[in-house]
Structure 1
C-alpha cells in the first residue's frame, strides 16, 4: 500500500467505525477488517500497527471470537481495546475472569505518564468503561500502566514486544483524551509519519477511477446531497466529460432545492440530466404509510429511472453511487444491526446492464466527505448542506404523502432553517416534520382543525448517536409564530427533545 496503514481488526465492537475515524484524524490511513482475517492477508497488507476492537463476548466462553496467536509474533505493534485487551491477555496465557464490580459509564483512571501510550497526559484521566470481565493475571512480560478503583489492569503494556491494551474506550468522546492516546499509539509506538491526507486521497482515487473506467461512460444518480455531489465532483475531475449525472426530481426535495442543485453543477465538466418525476413518485407512494415501504418504493423507482435513462444514453458501462461508510453500517453490513435500509446500498438487480459499480467515497466518514468537497471546490452552501435522507421529505411526512402535505412541510422546514441560520445557532442537523396529528385550534374568530408540525435539532459528532439541541425559547417562539401565520393548515408547533438512542435522528 502507498500509505502507512493501521489495521483495525473487528471482534464485534460497536465502536469500530469510531476507532478507524479517530486514527484517520491523526492523518494515518485505517482499514477495518474482520478479526479472523487470515494471517497471510495481514502480512500482505504490511500494517504499521493493529488495533483490536471491543466486543460483546466473554473471551473465555466457547465460540467467542479469537485471533491467530501468530499475530503476536509478527513484530507489529498491537493495541487491544476492551475485549481486545482481554483477548490479547487470554491468548498469551493471562487470566480473564468476571469482574467482582462491573464498570459502566464514566470512570476515573490513574495512568502512568511515563508510558509511551500516555505521553503528555496527566496521571488522572476520565474514561468510558463498559465491561463485565477484567484481566486478573497478566501474561509474561506485561505490566500494568493504568488502574481504576475497581480495575487494577485498566491498561497494560509489554514494551519490548510493542503490545498494549486498554480496558476503557479511547475512541469515544467520554474519554477526554482518547484521541491523544490513540495518537500516541500510532506515532510513539507504531512510528507513523502522518502521510494520509485528503489531497492524497484525491490523487489515489483519481488514479483508481481512471484505471477502472478507462474511456467508458459513467451514470450517477445525483440527489443533490453532500455525498452524491462530492462523488460527482470527484468523478468529473477524474474522467472529464465521461460522467452523466441523472438528477431525479422526485418532488420530495426541500424548498427550491432542485434549482439550486442544477445551478451548482452548471460549470462542471459533466452531463447534467434533470428528470422531473414528481407525479410518477407520488402515484407510487399514494396511500403508503409504512416508512420502510416508502423507502423501498423510492429506491425501486430510482433504479427504474436509472434504467430508463441509461437506455437513452449510449455506451454507459458503469453506475456510480455516493455511498459512504455509515450507509453501509446502517444497512446491516459487517454484522451491525439493520436499522434502516438505504436506497444506494445493496446489490443491483441483475437486469441492470452495467459492467460495474464505482463508489469512490465508500470508505469515508461524513466529515471526510465534506473536507473532500471543499478540496474539490464545491460551493460552501452545498458542502455544508444539512444532511438529507435519500427518500427525501417522504419520511418527514408521517403517514400518507400528498402534494399538499409536501408543500406544507417545505414551507415550515424553510422557516425553521432560516431562523436558526439567522440566529447563527450551532446545531449539526435541524429540520421540520409534518406529523399526522391534527388538533383543534383558534385562529382569528374561527375554530381550526389542522396539522401539527414537529421541529427537530440535534447535536452529534458522528451521527451514530446524538442529543437534542437546547434551542433557546426565543428562537423557537419566533419559528412557531412564523409557521402558524405563514404556512396554511398548521395550527400547532412542537419541539422534539429525544436523543439517539432511544430515537433515531429521522422520525421514520
Structure 2
C-alpha cells in the first residue's frame, strides 16, 4: 500500500499539511516528519523523494532549524519549498538576505531555463503564490537559477548534477496556477513514484491489522458522534464485531439535543453505545479556567479518567480506540515549541496509569479522506456531512470562563444558526458553521430599555480539506435573519458580528 512514498521534512510551515494532502491527491503516500529526524532513520524508511517545507523562521535567526548536508549525499531527489529553498542554497554556500520587497500572495513567475524536468509542460509565464521575507541573493557554484519574479531575481534553483530542486513559491497552494503539475513532475517523473495510494486498500489493510492486533481482546471507543468517530467505529466493528464498545460522554458542552441524535443514529447503524452523564464533573473541572490550552488539557484528562473507569467494568478490554486523524496529530505536534498550533484532547498517547493500548485506525488520514472513505463504506449522508464539532465542545467556543449560563446561551444561538442554514439549503454548501461567545458585553436597546449583554461571533467557513479555509459569502438577507432571530430569541446576546478571516492566518475555531 505504501511501497512508494514521499517524506516531507517539516520546518513548521502553515502549508505543510497541505503539501502532504496534495501529494496524496496525486496518488502517492506522503507523511510529515520533524526536520530534525536523524539521517539514519530517513535511510531506513527508504523514501522515493524528500521535500523540505517552508518555515516561519529565517536562516539567520539565533537558532534556525537546520539539516545536515549529508541529506544531499543520499541520492534521493529533493525539492525545497520557500524556506526549504533558502536552506538548500545556504548549505551549498549561497547568501540569503532580507528581501527589499516582501512578497505575499499572487505574483507572476517566469521560467528562465525551460529545459528541466521540474518545469516540463509548464508555460514560460504563470501565476504563483509567494509568502516570504528572505530570498537567495547569490547562487552557489553547484546550483543554477531557473526562474524569477518581478521582485525576486532567484525564485527557482536546480543542482547542476543531482536531482535537487528548489522553489521560492508554494506549488501546493491552489493559487499557484500549475502547482499540481510541478508536484507531479517531481513525484512521478523525477522521484519515479507509482501512484499506489488507494483508500480502498487502506480499509482492507486496516481491518486486517486490527484483527491481528486485537485478536480476542475487547475495544472501547471514545465516541464523539462526528464523522471521524463513526468511520473509526465502522472499521473496527468490521474487524472485531461485538467486541467493540462505544462510549459517549455527555460533557455538558454539547449542542442542543445532541445526545438524543447520537443515540438515534447509533441504533440505526447497529452500534452498541453507552452514554455517560458527566456534566457536573466537567463544569467543576473548568471552574475559573480561562486559558484555551488548559481547557483542552483538563478535558482530555477527564475523558481519560472516565474511559479508565469504564474499562474496568468490561472484561478483557485491552484497547482504547479514538477517531484521531492526521491533522490532529500534526497540529498537536511539539517537535518544536514554536510550531505547535493547538493540542487535541485525543492526541499524545495515554498516561502511564492507564493500562489500555491506543487504537487509532484513521490517524494517517486527513478529514476529506475520512469523508471519502465514509462514502465508500456507505455511512449515512446525515453523518458524513455533519459539520465538525470540537472534542472540548462549546467550552472552547466560549472565550474566557465557562459556566452553565454561557453554555445555555450558546446552545440556543447555535441551534438557531443550524436551523436557518438547513431551512435555507445552505448547510451542505458551507463546511463549518458555529457561534462564539465573547467575554465582552456591549450596550444595546430593546423595548426602549438599555441592555448590556454579550457579543457573539458568527463563524461560517468554506474549505475542501480543513487545512485552509475562507469565510463563506453568505447572502446579506440570511445574515440579517440570523442576527434578528438570535438577538430577539436568545437572552444574553445583544450584538452579533461576522468573522471574515481566512485560515491561515486564523484557525477555524477561535480557541
**Structure-2-length-normalised TM-score:** 0.88
Aligned match of 1:479: 482
Aligned match of 2:420: 419
Contact kept in structure 2, 1:242 and 1:270, CA below 8 Å: no
Please state how far the C-alpha of 1:43 moved relative to its aligned partner: 3.1
Q: In 2, distance between residues paired with 1:433 and 1:58?
A: 35
Aligned match of 1:352: 354
> 1:53-132, aligned counterparts within 5 Å?
53-56=53-56, 64-91=64-91, 93=92, 95-98=94-97, 101-105=100-104, 106-111=106-111, 112-129=113-130, 130-132=132-134
Aligned match of 1:505: 508
Please state how far the C-alpha of 1:47 moved relative to its aligned partner: 2.0
Aligned match of 1:15: 15
Q: In 1, distance between residues paired with 2:133 and 2:483?
A: 45
Deviations 1:87-111 (A, max 9, x none): 33444x4533426635421332112
Q: In 2, distance between residues paired with 1:431 and 1:325?
A: 23
Contact kept in structure 2, 1:157 and 1:163, CA below 8 Å: yes
Aligned match of 1:301: 302
2:241 aligned with 1:240: yes
Aligned match of 1:458: 461
2:379 aligned with 1:378: yes
Contact kept in structure 1, 2:18 and 2:467, CA below 8 Å: no
Secondary structure at the counterpart of residue 195 of structure 2: coil
5+ residue gaps in structure 1?
none
Mean CA deviation greater in 312-321 or 358-367: 358-367
1:234–1:16 Cα change, 3 Å: same
Q: In 2, distance between residues paired with 1:490 and 1:56?
A: 38
CA RMSD of aligned residues (A): 3.0
Contact kept in structure 1, 2:433 and 2:461, CA below 8 Å: yes
Please state how far the C-alpha of 1:444 moved relative to its aligned partner: 4.7
Mean CA deviation greater in 426-435 or 231-240: 426-435
1:74–1:349 Cα change, 3 Å: closer
Aligned match of 2:343: 341
5+ residue gaps in structure 2?
none
2:431 aligned with 1:428: yes
> 1:480-495, aligned counterparts within 5 Å?
480-495=483-498
> 1:267-346, aligned counterparts within 5 Å?
267-268=268-269, 270-335=271-336, 336-346=338-348
Deviations 1:380-426 (A, max 9, x none): 22122112111111222344444444333222212212223433444
Contact kept in structure 2, 1:82 and 1:131, CA below 8 Å: no
Q: In 2, distance between residues paired with 1:395 and 1:363?
A: 26
1:115–1:421 Cα change, 3 Å: farther
Mean CA deviation greater in 154-163 or 340-349: 154-163
Deviations 1:171-197 (A, max 9, x none): 223423222211221112222221102
Q: In 2, distance between residues paired with 1:163 and 1:447?
A: 67
Q: In 2, distance between residues paired with 1:193 and 1:252?
A: 46
Q: In 2, distance between residues paired with 1:13 and 1:444?
A: 51
1:242–1:109 Cα change, 3 Å: same
Aligned match of 1:155: 156
1:334–1:374 Cα change, 3 Å: farther
Q: In 2, distance between residues paired with 1:459 and 1:27?
A: 24
Q: In 2, distance between residues paired with 1:56 and 1:492?
A: 36
Aligned match of 1:133: 135
Deviations 1:278-311 (A, max 9, x none): 2333344445455444333322221221122111
Please state how far the C-alpha of 1:313 moved relative to its aligned partner: 1.0
2:184 aligned with 1:183: yes
Q: In 2, distance between residues paired with 1:100 and 1:263?
A: 58
1:11–1:453 Cα change, 3 Å: closer
1:30–1:433 Cα change, 3 Å: same
Contact kept in structure 2, 1:82 and 1:168, CA below 8 Å: yes
Aligned match of 1:5: 5
**Structure-1-length-normalised TM-score:** 0.89
1:271–1:60 Cα change, 3 Å: same
Contact kept in structure 1, 2:158 and 2:164, CA below 8 Å: yes
1:124–1:478 Cα change, 3 Å: same
Mean CA deviation greater in 166-175 or 420-429: 420-429
Q: In 2, distance between residues paired with 1:97 and 1:338?
A: 26
Contact kept in structure 2, 1:86 and 1:135, CA below 8 Å: no
Contact kept in structure 2, 1:102 and 1:132, CA below 8 Å: no
Aligned match of 2:215: 214
Q: In 1, distance between residues paired with 2:447 and 2:12?
A: 59
